[in-house]
Amino acid sequence: MSETKEIIISTDKIHTDQYLVNMGPQHPSTHGVLRLLVRLEGEIVHHIQPHVGYIHSGIEKMCEALSYPQIIHLTDRMDYLSAHMNNEAVCLCVENALQVEVPERVKYIRTIMDELTRLQSHQLWWCVMGMDLGALTTFFYGLRDREHILDIFEETCGARMTLNYSLPGGVMFDIHPNFQKRVKDFIKEFRKKLPEYDQLLTGNVIFQERTNDIGYLSLEDAIAWGVTGPSGRASGFSCDVRKHQPYSAYPLVDFQEKLDTKGDSFTRYRLRMRRCKNHFASLNN
């Protein structure tokens, strides 16, 4: 008995300090270049000071000297995983300012391309998230299926990622004759793949342990810090622009905004993508 007591006293005497660790800017888990100064005590993170700007390229300054269609080529490279959405944002802005009405067909094409872009972006996110947790298989699975979408893009406009497809007033070319068929085929295929994804990662004990109850963000914080997208919606912040300020063909599409109050927005979000994409395919003329 006395021995155990001694041990407890001796552990109390171990002196622990907080220490600073520099993560990045070149760090495999930052996916991009982000430098974090992390103050740690053991495994507990006390404070993080982020340093950004390692890929700041002054696009705003460049746009001052460019015409609107030329800007499209730069917005592609802002967020290269959702290049089409960035382009569309510029296009909608210019069209709004010029009071130009685009044809219905263009709206549909843009919306479908939007969703395809979103889907490939989520696929990459999913596979890379698995990879960071040590599940390298997800990396191969996710990128394998992502290539199918990239093929569709390539057939439509010639580029794999930086599409340059949307222009103020319309889109660059009409869709390829194969487009409709390939999108439908892809949806059919991808629906089969989703359970496979779930089996691989979602139910995994290690994954569950490392994501459940980690990094909690309250609704108030999400709103105060302006956390939107799936992260915001996982905290219960209804912030889907497609619902609240619908653009292109979104008013005509029947989909639901999924909200959650905790954690891992992941599977639900993907299911929603699937549903709305399914609907698009049937809508397409």
Partner 1 sequence: MTNEELLACLTGEFSKAEVKPGKQYVEIMVNAADLHETSVQLKNTPALSFDYLFCLSGVDFPESMQIVYHLESTHHRHIVVMKVNTADRLDPKVDTVSDVWQTAKYHEREVYDLLGVKFNNHTDLRRLFLDDTWGFPLRKDYKDEVRIVER
Partner 2 sequence: MGVKSKKEFEANDFPILAEYEGGSIILAKLDDLLNWSRSNSLWPLTFGTRCCAIEFMAVGASRHDMARFGMEVARATPRQADMIIISGTINYKMAPVLKRLYDQIADPKYVIAMGSCAISGGPFFYNSYAVVRGADHVIPVDVYVPGCPPRPEALLFGMMQLQKKIRRERYFSRKQKKNAPQP
> Which residues are at the interface with partner 2 (CB under 8 A)?
25-28, 31-33, 53-59, 61-62, 64-65, 73-74, 77, 80-81, 124, 128, 139-140, 143-144, 146-147, 150, 160-162
Q: Encoding tokens for residue 268? A: 């639900």
By a kind-dependent CB cut-off of 5 to 8 A, residue 93 interacts, out of partner 2, partner 1, none, with none
Q: Could you list the residues that contact partner 1 (CB under 8 A)?
A: 52-53, 56, 58, 60-61, 65, 96, 221, 223-226, 228, 237-239, 244
Taking the least distance from each CB to partner 2, the nearer of 66 and 98 is 66
CA distances from residue 264 to 54, 136, 213, 218 in whole angstroms, order as listed: 28, 20, 9, 13
Taking the least distance from each CB to partner 1, the nearer of 212 and 238 is 238
By a kind-dependent CB cut-off of 5 to 8 A, residue 223 interacts, out of partner 2, partner 1, none, with partner 1
CA distances from residue 35 to 24, 66, 126, 166 in whole angstroms, order as listed: 4, 32, 22, 34
* Distance in Å, CB of 29 to partner 2, minimum: 9
* Distance in Å, CB of 196 to partner 1, minimum: 37
* Distance in Å, CB of 57 to partner 2, minimum: 5
Taking the least distance from each CB to partner 2, the nearer of 62 and 206 is 62
* Distance in Å, CB of 271 to partner 2, minimum: 24
* Distance in Å, CB of 225 to partner 1, minimum: 5
Q: Encoding tokens for residue 171? A: 């889109």
Q: What single-letter amino acid sits at 162?
A: T
* Distance in Å, CB of 60 to partner 1, minimum: 6
Q: Which residues pair with 170 in a beta bridge?
A: 167
By a kind-dependent CB cut-off of 5 to 8 A, residue 226 interacts, out of partner 2, partner 1, none, with partner 1
- Give dist(CA 173, CA 238) in Å, integer: 35
By a kind-dependent CB cut-off of 5 to 8 A, residue 139 interacts, out of partner 1, partner 2, none, with partner 2
Taking the least distance from each CB to partner 2, the nearer of 80 and 173 is 80
* Distance in Å, CB of 65 to partner 1, minimum: 7
By a kind-dependent CB cut-off of 5 to 8 A, residue 48 interacts, out of partner 2, partner 1, none, with none
- Give dist(CA 157, CA 173) in Å, integer: 7
Taking the least distance from each CB to partner 2, the nearer of 83 and 253 is 83
Taking the least distance from each CB to partner 2, the nearer of 84 and 272 is 84
- Strand 19-23 relative to strand 35-41: parallel, antiparallel, unpaired? antiparallel
